[in-house]
Structures are given as C-alpha cells and as structure tokens.
C-alpha cells in the first residue's frame, strides 16, 4: 500500500530541515543557519499515532542571486504540489510574513492540496502571539511550533494525518504482478515500457526527464496479468527544472512501495553512477524483488569479455543486492527482450515463496552442523527455532538465547543457506530476531 507523501515547503532559512529532523526523529538533514544549505532532497519514513507516511524536505534549492529567489521558490512549491498528498508550509515566526511567503501562499492556495501552516521558531509560549498575523495568508489556522524544542509538533502532525485518505484496497488483485521501472533519467525507461507493451503508449524522447507523470499500464503475457509503472523522471522542460534533478527519485519511491518487482534500469553505454546505487537501495530497503536491466546494450562496444566485466561491476557496486539477477537487452532493437517477462514472473514467485516450518528447521540444523554458532566472551549463541511469518519479501523469525550474540556475518551465512536450500533468488530475505528463554 502506498504511503501518503508529506512535503515541507517554504522559503530558505525558515527551518524546514530542522522541522524534518524533528518529525523523523533523527538528524537526517544537514542543518546550518544559512539559506540553501540542504544540497540533496531528503526523503524519510515517519510515523505518528500509528499512521506511517513519507516525508520530504524540499530544502536545497540553490539560489544564484537575490533576483532569482522568487522563481526558485516557485519551482520548489510546484514540485511539492505535484508530488505530495499533504503540504506543510513552513514560515518563520520571528520575521513575520515576507513577500516570499506570500508568493508561495499564492501558489499553494490554487493547488487544491491540503495545506498545514507551520509557524516555526516559536521557541517559547510568549511567542505564540506571533502566529496570529499568519492568518492573513489565507491558508487556515497557523500552528506555532519549535523545531528545536519540539513544541507544538504533536498538534501539527495531528492536523497533517487528519488529511490522509484511507486507501481502498478492495479492488487490489493479488494475482496481478505490479512492476515498477525505476532508474535515473535518460536510461531508457520509457523506451523499455514501449518495447514491453509493443506499442507507443508512453511518449519517448532523448531529452532527459521528459516523462512528467507515473503511468500505470495493464497488459497480459502468457496468461499472466501485469501492471507496468513507468517512473521516468519528473522534470518539466526548461532550464529552471534542470537544477532540481534531485527530485527525480521521488516518483520512483511511490512506485516502489506499490510494486511487487522493481526493474532497476542502468544505461549500459554510460555505466554505473552513484544515483543508480541510491535508487536501487530504495528498492532493496523496501523489500521488493529486484532485477537489474542493463539497457542500450546494442550500442556498447563489445568483445567476449564485456558481458562478464559489466556483470562484475554491478556485483561490485551493489554488494547488498547479490540476489538480484541481471538482464542485458536493448529496448530499441528488442534484442534479448524476450528474456525479461519470464524473469519478472520468476522474481514475483520467489518474492511470494513460503517454506514449511519443518523444512526450514531441517535447513537450520544442517547449517548449524556445518558452521556452529560462534562464542563471544565465553557465551555461545544458541539458535533454537525458525519460522516464516510473511512473504513479499520472505520474512523469518529466529528464536535465540541472546540476540546480541548473533553477529551480522553469521546472519548472512544463514540467509545464504536458506537461499541455497530453497532456491530463493531475485528477492531480499528478512530476519527478525527474538530471544526465547
């Protein structure tokens, strides 16, 4: 189920990153007392009274000079309007309403999105009267908050989650495999969609970031129904949007959460860059089945070693995803495209695989016999029992005498043994450790 998305917007230096950190509960954003210091879009999961949501810190619009500040803030607000379900408009309670605040308010007022007004830097009760003038923005009740001290955050979040809509899952068909096509701009995601569908349902262009909206398309192959989600970039055409490529991951996040299988598309002609790792990491952390798709393989100069060398680069750069298969193809010429759909179906089956408890514990006993649990300061780890508690991804509970004795390396050993015994591929495996006296 897709989590609601909450974006924090506002002019520079009103404390957006500090507010982001306070809501998330940890220092994720770099906070400095200078405008424009956040260099990357930050995205984190948050929770309030049992409601989970994704929070975006939209700081980081770099401002070249004072004349461009209004234009840049407008870009920032428009991105938040496009992507968010609820918008938190942050203003500075110590400075009052500024021209920049009024410009953002005008845009938000026309958005038809729920707006929650956060008057930040109200660091003591005596400053609460500073919030009154912000009624003039026409965006409803101002919430006085202090990101530094945590004052008023609870009331703010109560208002935020009050705007969440309950997801209707009655129409969700578990038999349909949802496939998210993710990757950095201009790696050929839209071309891959068109190649799979066999028709030009998605506009394809060589201009990076052409696709504006995520597009869900249903199709059937060999009796199996699929939904393809194209997440190719979010940027509008124009120089203004070239500076906000950091937002291109955002749409992929929403698609990842609702997907069963993620196709991580890499440009074979240009190789692997850091953004590829970030996007793949999101899919892995979300527990989705993953397939690396190396596109544009037709224009790569090859010899008899090229395939193996590129595959090794993927394994070296994505050590945490050694379970994910690799498919080399060309969306343009459709060469090797026929191998992709069977791989997607296989990955989905692995993602949903459930193993009987007695077979799991047979595997566990064999693993313990091959490599007995280590000791730590004279105490030996005892692994008592294992059972599978869920799928998508396959998740196992392991009962031990002391969970502090279960080192990451030994946990990794057990995961590998489960993969070997039950042929788990293309999916991450999750362990939940429990102590049992």
- Residue 262 has φ and ψ, to the nearest 5°, of -110, 125
Nearest to 17 by CA among 60, 73, 64: 60
pLDDT band at residue 76 under the 50/70/90 scheme: low
Residues 362, 345 share a domain: no
Residues 330, 402 share a domain: no
**pLDDT, position 73:** 57
Task: Look at residue 242 and tell me whether its pLDDT is greater than 60.
Answer: no
Residues 203, 340 share a domain: yes
Question: Residues, the chain, total?
Answer: 437
pLDDT band at residue 127 under the 50/70/90 scheme: confident
Looking at the chain, the whole-number percentage of residues with pLDDT higher than 70 is 80
Residue 60 lies in a domain: yes
Looking at the chain, the whole-number percentage of residues with pLDDT higher than 90 is 46
Residues 374, 334 share a domain: no
DSSP string computed for 176-211: SEEEEEE-STTSSHHHHHHHHHTS--S---SSTT--
**pLDDT, position 364:** 95
**pLDDT, position 423:** 87
The number of beta carbons lying within 10 Å of the beta carbon of residue 216 is 13
> CATH code at 215?
3.40.50.300
Task: Look at residue 64 and tell me whether its pLDDT is greater than 90.
Answer: no
* Predicted confidence (pLDDT) per residue in 289-326, tens digit: 999 999 999 999 988 899 999 999 999 999 989 999 99
Q: Determine the average pLDDT of the residues in 232-244.
A: 38
Q: For residue 29, what is the DSSP state?
A: S
Of 15-24, 162-171, 237-246, 353-362, the least confident: 237-246
Residue 74 lies in a domain: yes
pLDDT band at residue 243 under the 50/70/90 scheme: very low
Q: For residue 358, give every residue at least 6 positions away whose Cβ sits within 8 Å of its Cβ, in sequence order, or none.
A: none
* Predicted confidence (pLDDT) per residue in 129-178, tens digit: 889 999 999 899 999 999 999 999 999 999 999 999 876 555 556 789 99
Nearest to 8 by CA among 140, 131, 106, 118: 118
**pLDDT, position 92:** 93
**pLDDT, position 255:** 78
Residue 170 lies in a domain: no
The domain boundary, picked from 325, 351, 377, lies at: 351
pLDDT band at residue 68 under the 50/70/90 scheme: low
Residues 370, 231 share a domain: no
**pLDDT, position 56:** 82
Residues 293, 244 share a domain: yes
The domain boundary, picked from 132, 161, 190, lies at: 161
Residues 335, 240 share a domain: yes
Angle at 323 between CA 374 and CA 366, to 5 degrees: 40
Residue-averaged pLDDT of the chain: 82
Residues 188, 323 share a domain: yes
**pLDDT, position 26:** 61
Task: Look at residue 27 and tell me whether its pLDDT is greater than 60.
Answer: no
Q: Determine the average pLDDT of the residues in 335-346.
A: 95
Binding residue numbers: 10-17, 57-61, 120-123, 183-190, 230-234, 295-298
Which pairing describes strands 395-400 and 383-390: parallel, antiparallel, or unpaired?
A: antiparallel
Angle at 351 between CA 312 and CA 170, to 5 degrees: 140
pLDDT band at residue 77 under the 50/70/90 scheme: low
Task: Look at residue 236 and tell me whether its pLDDT is greater than 80.
Answer: no
Residues spanned by the domain of 237: 177-351
Of 31-35, 128-132, 183-187, 267-271, the least confident: 31-35
* Predicted confidence (pLDDT) per residue in 371-423, tens digit: 998 887 778 889 999 999 999 999 999 999 988 888 889 999 999 999 999 98
Binding residue numbers for GTP: 10-17, 57-61, 120-123, 183-190, 230-234, 295-298
Domain count, the chain: 3
The domain boundary, picked from 300, 322, 351, lies at: 351
Residue 167 lies in a domain: no
* Predicted confidence (pLDDT) per residue in 213-227, tens digit: 455 788 888 889 998
Task: Look at residue 59 and tell me whether its pLDDT is greater than 90.
Answer: no
Residues 49, 187 share a domain: no
Residues 363, 333 share a domain: no
**pLDDT, position 212:** 43
Q: Determine the average pLDDT of the residues in 19-26.
A: 85
């Amino acid at each position: 189920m897709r989590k609601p998305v909450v974006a924090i917007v506002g002019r520079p230096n009103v404390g957006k990153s500090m507010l982001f950190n306070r809501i998330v509960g940890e220092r994720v954003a770099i906070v400095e007392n200078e405008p424009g210091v956040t260099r990357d879009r930050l995205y984190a999961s948050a929770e309030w009274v049992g409601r989970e949501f994704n929070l975006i810190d939209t700081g980081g619009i770099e401002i070249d000079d004072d004349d461009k500040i209004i234009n840049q803030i407008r870009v920032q607000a428009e991105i938040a309007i496009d992507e968010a379900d609820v918008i938190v408009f942050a203003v500075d309670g110590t400075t009052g309403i500024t021209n920049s605040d009024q410009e953002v308010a005008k845009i938000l007022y026309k958005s038809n999105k729920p707006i929650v007004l956060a008057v930040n830097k109200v660091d003591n009760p005596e400053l609460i009267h500073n919030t009154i003038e912000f009624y003039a923005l026409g965006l409803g009740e101002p919430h006085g908050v202090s990101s530094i001290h945590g004052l008023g955050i609870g009331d703010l979040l109560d208002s935020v989650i009050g705007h969440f809509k309950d997801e209707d899952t009655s129409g969700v068909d578990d038999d349909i495999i949802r496939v998210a096509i993710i990757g950095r701009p201009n790696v050929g995601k839209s071309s891959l969609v068109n190649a799979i569908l066999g028709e030009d349902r998605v506009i394809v262009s060589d201009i990076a970031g052409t696709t504006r909206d995520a597009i869900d398309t249903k199709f059937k192959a060999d009796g199996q129904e699929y939904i393809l989600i194209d997440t190719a970039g979010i940027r509008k055409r124009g120089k203004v949007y070239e500076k906000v490529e950091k937002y291109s991951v955002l749409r992929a996040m929403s698609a990842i959460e609702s997907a069963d299988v993620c196709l991580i598309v890499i440009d074979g002609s240009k190789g692997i860059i850091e953004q590829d790792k970030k996007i793949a990491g999101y899919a892995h952390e979300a527990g989705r089945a993953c397939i690396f798709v190396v596109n544009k393989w037709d224009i790569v100069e090859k010899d008899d070693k090229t395939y193996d060398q590129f595959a090794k680069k993927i394994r070296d750069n994505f050590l945490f995803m050694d379970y994910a298969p690799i498919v080399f193809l060309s969306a343009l010429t459709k060469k090797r495209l026929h191998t992709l759909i069977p791989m997607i179906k296989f990955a989905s089956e692995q993602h949903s695989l459930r193993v009987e408890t007695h077979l799991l514990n047979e595997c566990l006993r064999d693993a313990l016999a091959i490599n007995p649990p280590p000791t730590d300061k004279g105490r030996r780890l005892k692994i008592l029992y294992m059972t599978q508690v869920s799928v998508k991804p396959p998740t196992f509970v392991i009962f031990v005498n002391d969970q502090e004795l279960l080192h990451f390396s030994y946990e990794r050993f057990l995961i590998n043994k489960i993969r070997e015994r039950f042929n788990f591929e293309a999916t991450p495996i999750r362990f939940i450790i429990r102590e049992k006296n």
